[in-house]
Amino acid sequence: MPLDLVVNVAVGGVLTGLVYGLMALGLSVIYGVVRIVNFAHGEMMTVAMYGAVLLYTRLGLDPLLMIVPVGMALFLAGYAIQSLLINPFINRPEHVQFMLVIGIAIIIANGLLIGFGPDARNAPVSYAMDSFSLGPLLLDKVRVYAAGGAFVVAALLFGFFRYARTGKAIRACADNYVGARVVGLDVKRLYALTFGIGTACVGAAGSMLALLVDVTPSLGPSYTLLAFVIVIVGGLGSMAGALFGGVLIGLSEALAGLFFAPSAKSMFSFAILILLLLFRPQGLFGRRA
Amino acid sequence: MNAPVRTARLRLPRPLLLLGLLGLALLVAPAFVGSYALSVLILILYSAYTGQAWNIMMGFAGQLSLGHALYVGVGAYAAAALFVHYGIGPWAGMWAAMLAAMLAGGLIGYLAFRFGISGVYFALLTIAFAEFTRIGFDHITWIGGSAGYFLPVKQRTSSDLLDLRGAPAMFYYVMLALAALAMAVCKALLSSRTGYYWLAIREDPEAAQALGINTFRYKMIAVVISAAMTSLAGVFFAFYYNNLFPEQVFNIGRSIEIILGPIFGGLGTLFGPIAGAIVLTLLGESLRSATSALGWEVPGLELLIYGACLLLVVMFLPNGIWPPVSRWLGIKSRHLKGGE
Amino acid sequence: MDKPAKRLLHLPISRRAFGIGAGAAVAAAVTPFNIVRAQTGPLKIGVLLPKSGYEAQIGQSCQRGVDLAPALLKELGYSVDLEIMNADTETNVDVARSRAEKLIADGANLLIGAFDSGQTSAIAQVTEQHGVPFVINIGSQPQITESGYKWVVRNFPTTVQLITRGLERIKTLLAETHTTPKTAVYLHVNDTFGTAVSGAINKLVPTMNFPFKIVEEIAYDPAAKDLSVEVSKAKATGAELVLVTTRINDAILLVREMVKQRWSPMGIVSPGSPGMYEEGFFSALGKYSDYCLMMVPWVNPKAPMTRQITALFKSKYPNDPVDPHIFNVSFTFEAFLVAADAYKRAGTTAPAELMAALRKTHIERHIMVGGPIEFDAKGQNNGIVTVGLQDRGGRAVVVLPKEAAEMEPVFPMPAWNDRT
């Protein structure tokens, strides 16, 4: 196996993994704080992708520039969903929460089918077929930009949670719910805010993914699953973990596809998931719950 | 919280009478209903059966399994492979199916409980195993791989019970027997010592352990029984549809279908999964008939309304539809959850 | 927390009796009343297609053929009174089965469907059980006509037929363009269709004396969103020819990756699969979609019925390009043609006579390239010809055989950078 093939594939895997990581980041933030297992995650990302595609095809706006608007739109949607639908369910048993988000997922997916039809859509930007050439490396332009965007957004988020007051308040809720309420934090509002931030991440990731992937209404479930694998691997509630998990999964799938059968490459992700669940359920970077 | 919570005083005559009438109606149904209605009834019974089997793990022992399609698939392929490759009929094949499913369930249970995995992590583990198996089966060409596994189909004019080849009415009775069996098993388990141990483990695992109950053992029993029962549904599936595709049999949508009935109907109750199966299947079918009768040919509309119904039930009837329905029918339901 | 039981109705009867009555009412509602089917009167055709779920794109495409059928049949002089009952299989085998049962219970005299092999198989069992004719519009799994069904006819090639003819067409291509690629790499989707095709290819290619050898076969997950690894692997083989079996989304991904990785093989050829002539392929890839070759059954550009159906399509769907749909639409329409023709000859909707008439079908003038539509003892039409199709300027154009060709094939294809 020629070395430059391996390197090319590996680098591609890392870049794609960064975008996956951003998507998973949203899930990790939500679960880490609100402790809701959002099985409608993939569907929300599909909505973001459709949004980005529409903005490009109707108004000619490049999805990379639309990261912020799409993110904002999804922030508002997430905030609304959390306040109206999910907040009453915070203390309910898991299977009830699960059915709630499944219902939301079914509604979104079929709403998209009715609204957009089943055909695959994408945003054919002018540089969609270009690649950078760095010596033996051929780097897909779109992937590089998307990965860069993912990195920037993740860094911003990290900064927010580390240094901003609201960010610290949210972390307080996650660490100690009762304590947070005792010191007077408005937990319900912070939960809604967190959910909104999580979905904003998903929105940003979706905007970038619209450049890489063609969107159909039934895209959701496989991305939800992928997000969960990444989050578990990286560690629920850890942002660095989500990014790292994304890169790890992207890289391992790429290499597995290269050295073994490409059609079985997802098996490796699930095998990694199983191993981690057994031996280190808090993930690589998480803390033991 | 001292004594095991038995909330109901069963007024014996009424529920038994209703059950008897229902049973009678189901027994004579094929003589009166057309084959479309029969196919819907088969779907309801299948759904009720798998729901009951899943309920043993969740409603009784409190372990959320989101990958139950794994056992259906393993059972289906085991019985189908024996039939296609060695001509072994389903009545013998079903033992192999149950064994395979018990091994799978045992493995998952052992790994999970030994390593102390529960709640969401357990659910994700079950999903991972199901997906892993799905992709794996896609590559096993001995049983068809992703191209699909086809069972030989013979004419359906005569009923061959031995090989499960025959008219829908035959399949109906097989499924009815399975569903009745599931109910009987569940009832027996509920009133047995194992049932009470499960209740204790579900309500408060640490207290149960402190009382000396071997939680590991009883959780394993729940998983293994649930897996074995579910695999029989797989055997039925293989012989009823005569073809198996890993993508269709193992996929996560199927696992979700299995759990919707019991959650919708009411976890932990005996009749909940059955009520849920009836309502959900009829809801799906009537939505499809209604939209086509009204001429609204908008693909996806029925599923959208279906999702909305799920949402509404979750929001307003958190314990499922069986508790209010049973009250309305005048039966006090035997509800495992204390108080509500 | 004790809530009083909600009383939905205030009736003087006991709740128990009401419950039983309600149950009976529900049972009655799902029971059909007219079990005896009328022998004359309109021909009721039940159509089963996947219009939601994963295969919705294709199902909705086929549906247009259904919608055009009445008008076109009238134009062709079939004065058949048609009542069409549409059903959505939701890409789900349970739903397919119960929808089939419902259609038959509602009086369907004949069923048409269903694209997906698993669903088609389930429906075939239902029609076999009831003795109702079933005309398959699209569905290539060989087993369906090998299982001994007596009530099924299929106006579509089996996978084996598709591939055999497709490979022969590739031979014609190489001969006409005087090219001899030495190596080929075969990429295919790892689903029902792709796996069946791969099996056929592996069996047939060594026997057919091609100048090339398949040096590597790469199967990929149909749900894969990213095929960069697969294309990298394929590129690393240095193969001159790329053979593919794809669906629509992965076809787009493959070509896009090849462009990004700057790999211009001699050509991208499909020995028989959808994708590269479908909607989305052209719009997603623009000039890079040109010169892809597909060996598939296709509409005969010179047949009058082709012109008629194209005109009808354009007038009914002015905003949709014709080419991406014409395959699905035409095969679906031909199923209706077969049904209407059999009904005309049988003179009755009685199932046995209708089925006998179907078996004796002999339709000379139709849309797809090939001999007259006829069915052998197993219900299979063996006369469907495969043509060579090439994407040119955003259209799928027939380039082989010479007699039916609209343009000459271009092979090898120009490199990506040389595209205008």
What would the pLDDT profile of C114-160 be if each residue is shown by its tens digit? Answer: 988 888 988 998 898 889 999 999 988 888 888 888 999 999 999 88
Burial pattern C78-99, b for ≥16 Cβ within 10 A else e, equals: bebebebbbbbbbbbbbbbbbb
Instruction: Please state the three-class secondary structure of C201-225 as a single string.
Output: HHHHHHHHCCCCEEEEEEEECCCCC
Does pLDDT of B265 surpass 80? yes
Closest CA relative to residue A97, chosen from B250, B127, B119 = B119
Does pLDDT of C295 surpass 90? yes
Contact with chain C for residue B294, Cβ under 8 A? no
Contact with chain A for residue C6, Cβ under 8 A? no
Q: Lowest mean pLDDT of A282-286, B76-80, B333-337, name the range.
A: B333-337
Closest CA relative to residue C306, chosen from C324, C282, C330 = C330
pLDDT at position C337 is: 94
Chain A residues touching residue B307 (CB < 8 angstroms) = 102-107, 110
**B219 lies in some domain:** yes
Does pLDDT of B335 surpass 60? no
**B7 lies in some domain:** no
Mean pLDDT (chain C, rounded): 85
Which residues 73-112 of chain C have a CB within 8 Å of chain B? 85-88, 90, 92-95, 97-99, 101-102, 104-106
Tokens of B328: 């309305």
**B281 lies in some domain:** yes
What distance in Å separates residue B218's CA from the closest CA in chain C? 32
**How confident is the model over C404-410, as a mean pLDDT?**
88
Chain A residues touching residue C216 (CB < 8 angstroms) = none
Please give the C-alpha separations between residue B72 and each of B52, B105, B243, B249, C93, in angstroms, as whole numbers: 13, 11, 14, 7, 15
**B72 lies in some domain:** yes
Contact A32, A237 (CB under 8 A): yes
**How confident is the model over B129-143, as a mean pLDDT?**
89
Contact with chain A for residue B143, Cβ under 8 A? no
Chain B residues touching residue C131 (CB < 8 angstroms) = none
Chain A residues touching residue C187 (CB < 8 angstroms) = none
Contact with chain B for residue C20, Cβ under 8 A? yes
Return the CATH class of domain A3-279: mainly alpha
pLDDT at position C334 is: 95
CA dihedral C66, C69, C71, C74 (to 10 degrees): -160
- Tell me how many domains chain B contains: 1
Does pLDDT of C94 surpass 70? yes
**How confident is the model over C234-262, as a mean pLDDT?**
91
Interface test with C, best of B17, B33, B35 (most C CBs within 10 A): B35
CATH code: domain of residue B265: 1.10.3470
The residue type of C286 is G
**Which chain A residues touch C if contact means CB-CB below 8 Å?**
1-2, 5, 8-9, 12-13, 16, 110, 113, 117-122, 124, 128-131, 138, 140-141, 212-214, 216-218, 222, 253-254, 257-258, 261-263, 265-266
Contact with chain B for residue C37, Cβ under 8 A? no
What distance in Å separates residue C154's CA from the closest CA in chain B? 18
Nearest CB among C24, C95, C129 relative to B156 is that of C129
Nearest-Cα residue of chain A relative to residue B137 = A264
User: Measured between alpha carbons, how far is C378 from C151 in angstroms, rounded to an integer?
Assistant: 10
Q: What is the domain range of residue B160? A: 15-24+34-328
**How confident is the model over C312-336, as a mean pLDDT?**
91
Does pLDDT of B88 surpass 70? yes
**B49 lies in some domain:** yes
Residue pLDDT, tens place only, B273-306: 899 999 989 988 888 888 777 777 777 788 888 8
Interface test with B, best of A35, A229, A277, A279 (most B CBs within 10 A): A277
Residue pLDDT, tens place only, A78-92: 888 888 888 787 777
Contact with chain C for residue B299, Cβ under 8 A? yes
Contact A284, A242 (CB under 8 A): no
CA dihedral C395, C400, C404, C410 (to 10 degrees): 50
More confident residue, C363 or A140: C363
Burial of C51 (0-12, 13-18, 19+ CB in 10 A): buried
Nearest-Cα residue of chain B relative to residue C36 = B34
Contact A205, A96 (CB under 8 A): no
Does pLDDT of B225 surpass 80? yes
pLDDT at position B211 is: 86
Please give the C-alpha separations between residue A38 and each of A78, B312, C257, in angstroms, as whole numbers: 11, 18, 32
**B10 lies in some domain:** no
Nearest-Cα residue of chain A relative to residue B112 = A278
**B333 lies in some domain:** no
More confident residue, C285 or B234: B234
Closest CA relative to residue C119, chosen from C148, C99, C102, C104 = C99
CB pairs under 8 A between A and B: 120
**How confident is the model over B47-52, as a mean pLDDT?**
94
Does pLDDT of A227 surpass 70? yes
Contact with chain C for residue B317, Cβ under 8 A? no
Phi and psi (nearest 5°) for C388? -100, 125
Chain A residues touching residue B129 (CB < 8 angstroms) = 270, 274
Contact C323, C349 (CB under 8 A): no
Residues 6+ apart with CB under 8 A from A44: A38, A74, A77, A78, A108, A199, A202, A203, A206
**B61 lies in some domain:** yes
Does pLDDT of C14 surpass 50? no
Nearest CB among A103, A118, A228 relative to B314 is that of A103
Q: Do residue B242 and residue C93 have CB atoms under 8 angstroms apart?
A: no
Measure the CA angle with vertex B152, ends B150 and B156; round to 5°: 125
Does pLDDT of C7 surpass 60? no
